[in-house]
Structure 1
Amino acid sequence: MNRPVVVTGLGLVSCAGEGVEAHLAALDTGAPPRTDSESFAPYAVHPAPTIAWDNQIPKRSDQRQMEAWQRLGVYAAGLALDSAGVKDDAAFKQALHLVVAAGGGERDYAADGAILTGLRDAPDPGAYLNERLQNDLRPTLFLAQLSNLLAGNIAIVHGVTAASRTFMGEEAAGVDALRIAQARVASGQIDAILVGGSYSAERPDVLVIHAMGGFLARDGYRPVFARGELGGFILGSCAAFLMLESEAHAAARGARALARLDAVASDRTRRRPGSVAASLEVLWRQAGLDAPDHVLSGATGLASITTEERDALARLAPTVRVQALGDVLGHGLEVAAPFGAALGTALVAAGRAREVAVTAVGHRRGEGVLRLGAI
C-alpha cells in the first residue's frame, strides 16, 4: 500500500515564539532571530521564549520533574494535539503512536565538574575516570537524563499511550523519525502518528561538547549562508511536533489536512569533498522533487558542507528562494528536520506554496530531503 500521508496538526516552539503564525512571521521579516550573546560568550544561543507551561502541562509536579528539553517537547506535542483537534479525545490518543527524535538529556553538572576537576591531578587518569563513573552514576545508570523520557512524559501528560519509539543520532535522527513515521502510515500499518523532537541549547554541557569539536560559531549571529570560512552553528532551544495521518483517516474524522508529506529520503555518505552535494542531488530525485516553490534548508553553517549545499541547491532549484532554518530559530540538531517539515506544512497550508523542499544535512553525518505538497 502507498496511502497518501497528510499533516493534520502542528506544534512549534522556538526563539521566534510559539505556534504557526509566529514562525511564519519570522520567515517573512527576515530579521535576525532573538539571540543571547552574553550568557555563554564567546558562543551565542537562540533562547527559548517565555512560555506559560500551564497551558499544556497543567500539573506543577510534572513541570518540576522535567528539565527544559522535556518541557519544550511536551509543550509542543500538546500544541500539535490541539491543532489536530484531538487534545480531549482519549480514545484517539490511546491508539496514537509516537516517534520522538532527541539526544541525551541534561547532565548532572556537579558530578561532571567534580570528575573533570579530579581528572587534572589523577596519577592514573583512566583508572580514576572508570572509578568515578562507576561510583557517581545515577540509579538510571546514566549521568544524563535518558532520551526516551520525553516520550514517557508525553504519554503521562497527554495520554498518548500506544507504541512509542525514540531516535538518537543528531540531525539524522530527526530525518529518520519522519521517514519511519511517514512510511508506517503510508504502508497501512497504522492510521495516525505523532512525530517530532525537542532541544535545549541553553546548557553548558552541549556547548562544551560542540565547542570541543570546533562546530560552534563565535562572536554573535550572522546568517547561516554568510558565516564565511570559519563557519559554525548557533544552537537554538526549540521543539516541533507533527500529527501525521492517512488522508482517508483524517477525512473520516473531519480533520483538515494541512499538507501532504509525500516523501522523506535519507542518506549517510562517507564525508569527503563533494559528497554532500552528490548526496543531495540523489535524494532530491528520490524525493520526486522537480520545481518546488520554496526550499527550507537545515544547513548548519559549517563552512565546507554549507557551501556544498548552497551550490547544490542553486543547481537543483535555481529560481527558488532558499531560507535557512538557522536564520529563524537556530540549529536544533534532532529537531532540524521536524521543524523544517512543520514550517513547510505551514507554508503550504497558508496557500503560499504548492510544494516545499526541506533539507537536513548533519554537521557530522547524515543527509535528508523531504517533499511536502498541497492537498
Structure 2
Amino acid sequence: MAETRPMTSEPVEAWITGIGLATSLGEGPDAHWNALNNKRINVDETGFAPNIVHPLAPVSYDAQIPKKGDQRQMEAWQRIGTYAAGLALDSAGVKGNKDILSRMDMIVAAGGGERDLAVDSGILNSEGYGAASPGLLNEKLLNDLRPTLFLAQLSNLLAGNIAIVHGVTGSSRTFMGEEAAGVDAARIALARIASGQSDIALIGAAHNGERKDLLLLYEFDDFNLKNKFETVWAREANSGFALGSAGAFLVIESRAHAEARGAKPLARLKSVVADQARRKTPGEVTTSLQKLWSQLGARSDAAIITGATGAEPVTSEERTFLKDHADVAIRGTGTLFGHTLETQFPLGLGLAALAISRGAMFPPNDSTGLEIEKSGKPTQIVVIGAGHWRGEGMALVEAI
C-alpha cells in the first residue's frame, strides 16, 4: 500500500540541498563558478553554420553511468540528463542511499527524442525532387525505422533511465511543453513539499542542442541565431537563440527531512508562479511578468537570473519589464549557456542556489549595459523564464 503523508496546515519550508550541472561550461559547482567569474562562453560558430550552438563540455559519462550498456541505449540528451541527475544526488549526499532514493519523487521536464536523420533526409529529398509516391511514408515506417528508435524517443525515458541507473524509485512525473515544462517541474515539486505530500524530490531537465533536426525545426519560424554570436540583449536586429546542450537537476526537500539527515542547505525555494499570456497583442508578455512579480513576494532589490532567449518579440517585451528593475543585478543565461528549452528554468534555479551558497553574484557578461555589477551577498534571487513561443514563470530563491 502506498504511504500516505498527513497534510499540514502551514506550508513546509523547502530547501535546495543538491545541484547537478553539466553544460557547455563544464560540470559541477566549482567548474561553473570559475567559468562564470572568468566570463567564459563556449560557442561553436562553424560546426552547424550558419547556426550557432553552445556544445556540451567534455564529460566522462562512466563517472555517473558506469554500465556501457546503459549508455548505449540512451540518446545524447538522456545521457546528459542522467549524468546531471547523478551529480545532483552526489551534491545532496543521497547517492546510493536506498532508503531515501526509494521514496524520492522525480519530476522531469523533457522534449521529444532525436530523429533518424538518414530516414528524414531521404523523405525530404524525395519530396523535394518530386519522387515521393503516395505510399512513401508508410513504406519508410515499415522498412527503414528501427523499432528501438521509438523507445528512445519516449520523453519519459529520461526519468526511466535515472530510475534504472541511480535507483530513484519514488513517484515519477514527466512534463512536456518546452520552457514552461521546466517551470512546472519546479512548481509542482514545491507544492508537493509545501503541502506535506513529499519529503524530497529530484527535479530537472536535459537538452541536446547539437542536433540538426532541432535546428531545422526552429528554422521553420526563424528562431535560430545565425552567423555571429552576440550577447542575448544585443540581438534585436539579428534575433534568435543559440541552442545549448545542458543538464540541470536539483534535489529539493523539506527542512525537517534535511535536518533529520544532517544535510546542509544551499538555498531556500520560496515560491514558484506560472502564467501563459495569449501573446496576441504587443505587451502581453510584459504584463504577464509584472503580474507574476506581484505574486512572487520578492523584495524590490532582489537580483534576477533570466533565461531570456534572444528571440523576438518576447525578449524585447521582457526587456521592457526589466527596465523597472534597472538598479539590480540582472544576468541572462542565454548569453552564457545558449538556450536549453526545458532545461533553462532548472538551470536558472541551480545558478541562483549556487550564487546564494557562494555569497556573491557572478559578474555581468553583456555588451549592452543592461547587466550591471553588484557587490555584496545576494539574499534573494528571482529566476525568470519567458518561453520563446509560450509560457512565463518565476521562482524566488532565498538565502537561509
Q: Same-fold call, TM > 0.5?
A: yes
Which residue does the alignment assign to 2:18? 9
Structure 1 position 134, deviation (Å): 6.1
Paired residues, number: 373
Find out whether 1:368 has 2:393 as its counterpart.
yes
Which residue does the alignment assign to 1:226? 234
In structure 2, distance between residues paired with 1:336 and 1:126 = 41
Which residue does the alignment assign to 1:205? 213
Which residue does the alignment assign to 2:36? 27
Which residue does the alignment assign to 1:294? 303
Decide whether aligned partners of structure 1 residues 179 and 125 sit closer, same or farther in structure 2, where only a CA change above 3 A counts.
farther
Matches within 5 A, 1:1-375: 1=8, 2-31=11-40, 33-122=41-130, 128-129=136-137, 132-133=140-141, 136-139=144-147, 142=150, 145-271=153-279, 272-315=281-324, 317-352=325-360, 353-375=378-400
Tell me the TM-score normalised to structure 1 length. 0.95
Structure 1 position 206, deviation (Å): 0.4
Structure 1 position 309, deviation (Å): 0.8
Structure 1 position 303, deviation (Å): 2.9
Structure 1 position 196, deviation (Å): 0.1
The CA deviation string for residues 194-248 of structure 1, in whole angstroms up to 9 with x for no partner, is 0000000111100110112210111131100011223100011001000010111
CA RMSD of aligned residues (A): 1.8
CA contact (8 A) 1:107 1:143 kept: no
Structure 1 position 119, deviation (Å): 2.2
In structure 1, distance between residues paired with 2:24 and 2:172 = 28
In structure 1, distance between residues paired with 2:342 and 2:216 = 18
The CA deviation string for residues 5-25 of structure 1, in whole angstroms up to 9 with x for no partner, is 110000001111111122223
SS of 2:47's equivalent in the other structure is coil
Structure 1 position 300, deviation (Å): 0.3
SS of 2:236's equivalent in the other structure is coil
The CA deviation string for residues 97-127 of structure 1, in whole angstroms up to 9 with x for no partner, is 1011110111111221222222234577775
SS of 1:37's equivalent in the other structure is coil
Tell me the TM-score normalised to structure 2 length. 0.89
CA contact (8 A) 2:116 2:145 kept: no
Structure 1 position 30, deviation (Å): 2.9
Structure 1 position 292, deviation (Å): 4.1
Structure 1 position 29, deviation (Å): 2.8
In structure 1, distance between residues paired with 2:115 and 2:194 = 38
CA contact (8 A) 1:26 1:328 kept: no
Higher mean alpha-carbon deviation, 304-313 vs 112-121, is at: 112-121
Structure 1 residue ranges without an equivalent (≥5): none
In structure 1, distance between residues paired with 2:287 and 2:138 = 42
The CA deviation string for residues 247-290 of structure 1, in whole angstroms up to 9 with x for no partner, is 11101110011111111110111113101100000001111122
The CA deviation string for residues 114-159 of structure 1, in whole angstroms up to 9 with x for no partner, is 2222223457777544554466555368496111111111011101
Higher mean alpha-carbon deviation, 252-261 vs 107-116, is at: 107-116
Structure 2 residue ranges without an equivalent (≥5): 1-7, 361-377
